[in-house]
Amino acid sequence: MTTGAVQFKINVPDVVSETIDGEAVIVSLSRGVYYSLDRVGVEAWDLINRGYSLARIVTAIQQTFDGDAELIAQTIQGLLAQLQAEQLITAIASSQADAAPASEAAPAPKEPFVPPVLQKYSDMVDLLMLDPIHDVDETEGWPAKREETAA
């Protein structure tokens, strides 16, 4: 993966997410799997959601966290590859110039860079895969369950 003009988009409506108390909770509705990201991962997820290119995401993380620039670049590229492999995001060609992120007048002290970990949970697959709308009898409506037909 190069750091050129590649952008990413979250695979909505299949993927939904929410950030709560510094942790991103991400759900793949079609696969019934959910994920979590910690501090650095939350920052990367937010930048993806804002339409940043790979280069801008790496630069923004390097500006926010204190750590080796090359390690940060490799780690963020690895995280984005994982998110793609899990079908949470899709790479798209960028149609806009890759402007540098705006810098603040007085930079805040940097937090130490801790490589993000994408945690995957499949313990609720059965619950998340329940589809009460599509399992409804079409003539009677909800909550009447559709009768199974013998094949």
The 10 Å Cβ neighbour count of residue 7 is 21
Write out the two tokens for 40.
């650095």
**What's the pLDDT at 3?**
46
- CA–CA distance from 41 to each of 29, 126, 129, 138, 150 (Å)? 20, 27, 26, 43, 48
Going by DSSP bridges, is the β-strand pair 15-20/23-28 parallel, antiparallel, or unpaired? antiparallel
Alpha-carbon span 85 to 78, nearest angstrom: 10
**What's the pLDDT at 32?**
87
pTM of the shown model:
0.76
The 10 Å Cβ neighbour count of residue 88 is 24
C-beta separation of 50 from 60 below 8 A = no
> By C-alpha distance, which of 99, 70, 83, 73 is closest to 36?
83
In a 3-state reduction of DSSP, which class is residue 151? coil
CATH value of 6-99+113-128 in 3.90.930.60, 3.30.390.10, 3.60.130.10, 3.30.70.1140: 3.90.930.60
* Bridge partners, residue 78, by sequence: none
**What's the pLDDT at 47?**
97
**What's the pLDDT at 29?**
86
The 10 Å Cβ neighbour count of residue 32 is 15
- Which amino acid, one-letter code, is at 83? L
Mean pLDDT, consecutive 10-residue stretches, the chain (151 aa), reads 73 94 93 94 96 94 96 98 97 67 63 96 74 54 54 51
